[in-house]
Chain A
């Protein structure tokens, strides 16, 4: 069956801070409730967006930058959810997103990686990931192939 109705686009805006990511994710998932996503799809949305937002809080902004805003726009279409995430923090190193290759886990216990999974998860689960710097603003675009029609 072809989907004929789509969720209207909506925005989420939070101020950078310790609970900014949880707050933004809650607002985002509340906004997606009319789509009645199953646990698999909702988990994909929450995981990808958590990683994207954690990166902003930890890298684009850092301790001391308490006033930065994070804005998310979510648009629903035939090919899923198109997310735009904007912040006014530091630019990505070298103007692009990390490659996001899988962490090497065939190593001794003491060398087991404790990080570096975030961009791997984003690029594994999301489509059409692009990043642009506009003046003082970072813009990350990605598509989540859920609630497709």
Chain B
């Protein structure tokens, strides 16, 4: 699971450089997210623009990543491709996470 993390405008941006977050990599994704987010208290923007497919296990792993960040920190999602967007919409998880069409929009709206 290739996650790349960087700081930008008081935010932490984590980009997923894989085309799938599915059952085969869900646990690995959750652990990689823990590693990428545990050194900061900033809001995290998860850039999903390269992810073409997510299943319910991948969705669960993103929820788990949000929960392990704790109550005080926000996890926002950016760049959802059509099938990823469909999974979030059908499960109504798009109402749990702040969702932005692009990473640029997320950064411009979330920066403090």
* A residues neighboring B (CB under 8 Å): 18-19, 21-22, 39-40, 42-44, 46-47, 50-51, 54, 57-58, 102-103, 105, 109-110, 112-118, 120-121, 124-125
Contact = CB atoms under 8 A, between A and B. Distances in A.
Contacts of A47: 53, 55, 83, 86-87
Nearest to A120: B91
13 contacts: A21-B23, A22-B22, A40-B86, A42-B83, A43-B53, A46-B53, A47-B86, A54-B23, A58-B23, A110-B67, A114-B61, A117-B56, A117-B59
Interface of B: 20, 22-24, 53, 55-57, 59-61, 63-64, 66-67, 71, 82-83, 86-87, 90-93, 95-96
A114 B64 contact: yes
Contacts of B92: 102, 105
Contacts of B82: 39-40, 43
A39 B57 CA distance: 21
A109 B23 CA distance: 22
A39 B83 contact: yes
A109 B67 CA distance: 7
Contacts of A103: 91
B63 A113 contact: yes
Contact of A21 (B24, B90, B93, B96): B24
A118 B22 CA distance: 12
Contact of A102 (B20, B63, B66, B91): B91
